[in-house]
């Protein structure tokens, strides 16, 4: 009996021990949930700041004149400053020295030798969030690994003009080349100066049956003037490499034909449904007298939404470098370069395959003389926009800045 009486005495206090152990676990689980929530909030803030870092650096990188060193220096400074501006909102214990900014030509081998920087990667090392309740498990902090990659992606120009010129399909139009399907491409050196003596050229519209060999004013045609590729004496047949023809577009307002063509010039980018056509697609010509649209074309100099740099004539180097003031882009037009040698191209209203969309800068107002029309300008090698993505970047290098997935950073 004495032995049995001792059993309850031996078990006294076990419930208190179990409760204390369970309480520690409950506190740890609750603390882990709270700390993980805090970590996720900081991770989101850090990723947003890192994305801003990469996008800001990429924009400055592409806007900066000069060699690779100048671009990298300017972009690095801009990226870090932007990161710190965003990091000041809710993030702590972080300095500019903690941020790593590296560059690449090809989205690979960031930090290696870079000759033409087009992509930027931002990251921060050894950044951790101090824990609170989970310290009872010996976890004092939780580390974050956050990166962001941004750079250019080729697109079609977002400001399409209803203009078609016929290119030479057998000629190359590669990134960095001096010509594109028979058209000279203006380029600048690392200091923002023309690589060759700067000159404007003209696109002309020759009426059916007219002899335009003596077309003035005296100057250089933009294309090779190879002659009529389809025969027949119609306007489409007369669209050789340096001539232009109107295109049958539909505007966002519902207008079609010549009314849409006029509106496209007068309203600027965004007037045409669908934006610029993609390489390899089909456009349709719009035969007729183009004299009536020259006045609308000239509105890009002094019409609605007037360009902030309306001085003319003006070479692109002056316009692009802010002399006298930076323009708003209305004089930069996406001109379709088509393959008029294709068998489907016939006299009159006809489908024409698209080789590419070229960036054309209007240097002067359009000219009407003796029923003949001239548009003066330069094909330029680089212009920004927000059109359709293309997988085939060419000499015109039309691009926009985007964020890329960084497979080294799970949250990027």
Q: Is residue 223 part of a domain?
A: yes
Q: Is residue 402 part of a domain?
A: no
Among 229, 252, 245, residue whose Cα is nearest residue 284: 245
Query: Tell me, what's the pLDDT at 405?
Result: 78
Q: Is residue 5 part of a domain?
A: no
Q: Choose between 22 and 374: higher pLDDT.
A: 374
Phi-psi region of 288 (alpha: psi -120 to 50; beta: other; left: phi over 0): left
147 and 234 part of one domain: no
Q: Per-residue DSSP letters for 340-405?
A: TTSTT--SSS-EEEEEEEEEEEE-S--EEETTEEEEEEEEBS-EE----B-S---TT-EEEEEEE-
326 and 354 part of one domain: yes
Last residue of a domain, one of 154, 187, 206: 154
Q: Per-residue DSSP letters for 276-293?
A: SPPTT-EEEB--S-THHH
172 and 58 part of one domain: no
35 and 167 part of one domain: no
303 and 391 part of one domain: yes
Query: Tell me, what's the pLDDT at 169?
Result: 84
Average pLDDT over every residue of 315-329 = 76
Q: Is residue 180 part of a domain?
A: yes
Of 36-45, 91-100, 300-309, least confident by mean pLDDT is 36-45
| 225 pLDDT above the threshold of 50 | no
Percent of the chain, pLDDT > 90?
Answer: 5
88 and 134 part of one domain: yes
Last residue of a domain, one of 154, 186, 214: 154
| 143 pLDDT above the threshold of 80 | no
135 and 177 part of one domain: no
How far is C-alpha 127 from the chain's CA centre?
A: 32
Asked whether 386 and 155 are in contact (CB, 8 A), the reply is yes
Q: Is residue 290 part of a domain?
A: yes
Q: Is residue 207 part of a domain?
A: yes
Average pLDDT over every residue of 52-56 = 91
Q: Is residue 406 part of a domain?
A: no
Q: Is residue 412 part of a domain?
A: no
Query: Tell me, what's the pLDDT at 240?
Result: 45
Among 93, 175, 130, residue whose Cα is nearest residue 395: 175
How many structural domains compose the chain?
2
Average pLDDT over every residue of 335-342 = 85
Domain hosting residue 243, numbered range: 160-396
| pLDDT tens digit sequence for 256-307 | 888 888 888 887 666 777 777 877 889 888 876 667 788 888 888 876 667 7
| Total residues belonging to the chain | 412
| pLDDT tens digit sequence for 79-88 | 999 988 877 6
127 and 170 part of one domain: no
Last residue of a domain, one of 154, 182, 197: 154
Among 91, 14, 3, residue whose Cα is nearest residue 50: 91
| 320 pLDDT above the threshold of 90 | no
Query: Tell me, what's the pLDDT at 55?
Result: 92
217 and 358 part of one domain: yes
200 and 132 part of one domain: no
Q: How many Å from the N-terminal Cα to the C-terminal Cα in the chain?
A: 73
298 and 337 part of one domain: yes
142 and 167 part of one domain: no
Average pLDDT over every residue of 219-244 = 49
């Amino acid at each position: 009996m004495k032995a049995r009486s001792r059993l309850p005495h031996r078990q006294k206090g076990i419930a208190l021990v179990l409760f204390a152990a369970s309480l520690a676990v409950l506190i740890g689980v609750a603390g882990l949930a709270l700390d993980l929530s805090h970590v996720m909030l900081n991770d989101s803030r850090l990723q947003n700041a890192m994305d801003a870092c990469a996008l800001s650096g990429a924009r400055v990188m592409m806007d900066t004149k000069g060699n690779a060193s100048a671009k990298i220096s300017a972009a690095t400074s801009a990226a870090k400053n932007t990161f710190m501006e965003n990091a000041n909102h809710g993030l702590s214990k972080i300095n500019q020295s903690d941020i790593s900014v590296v560059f690449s030509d090809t989205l690979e081998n960031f930090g290696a030798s870079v000759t033409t920087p087009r992509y930027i990667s931002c990251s921060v090392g050894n950044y951790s969030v101090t824990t609170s309740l989970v310290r009872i498990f010996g976890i004092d902090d939780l580390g974050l690994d956050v990166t962001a990659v941004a750079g250019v992606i080729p697109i079609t120009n977002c400001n399409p003009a209803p203009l078609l010129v016929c290119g030479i399909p057998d000629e190359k139009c590669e990134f960095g080349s001096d010509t594109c399907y028979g058209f000279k491409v203006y380029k600048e050196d690392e200091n923002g100066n023309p690589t060759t003596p700067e000159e404007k050229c003209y696109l002309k519209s020759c009426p059916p049956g007219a002899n335009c060999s003596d077309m003035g004013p005296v100057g250089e045609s933009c294309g090779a003037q190879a002659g009529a590729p389809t025969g027949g004496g119609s306007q489409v047949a007369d669209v050789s490499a340096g001539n232009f023809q109107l295109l049958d577009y539909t505007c966002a307002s519902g207008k079609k034909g010549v009314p849409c063509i006029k509106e496209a010039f007068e309203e600027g980018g965004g007037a045409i449904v669908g934006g610029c056509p993609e390489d390899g697609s089909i456009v349709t010509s719009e035969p007729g007298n183009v004299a009536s649209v020259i006045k609308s074309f000239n509105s890009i100099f002094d019409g609605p939404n007037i360009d902030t740099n309306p001085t003319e004539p003006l070479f692109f180097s002056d316009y692009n470098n802010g002399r006298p003031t930076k323009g708003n882009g209305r004089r930069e037009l996406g001109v379709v370069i088509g393959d008029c040698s294709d068998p489907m191209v016939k006299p009159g209203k006809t489908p024409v395959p698209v080789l590419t969309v070229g960036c054309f800068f209007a240097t002067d107002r359009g000219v009407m003389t003796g029923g003949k029309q001239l548009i003066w300008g330069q094909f330029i090698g680089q212009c920004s926009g927000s059109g359709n993505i293309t997988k085939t970047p060419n000499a015109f290098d039309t691009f926009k800045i985007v964020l890329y997935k960084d497979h080294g950073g799970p949250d990027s």
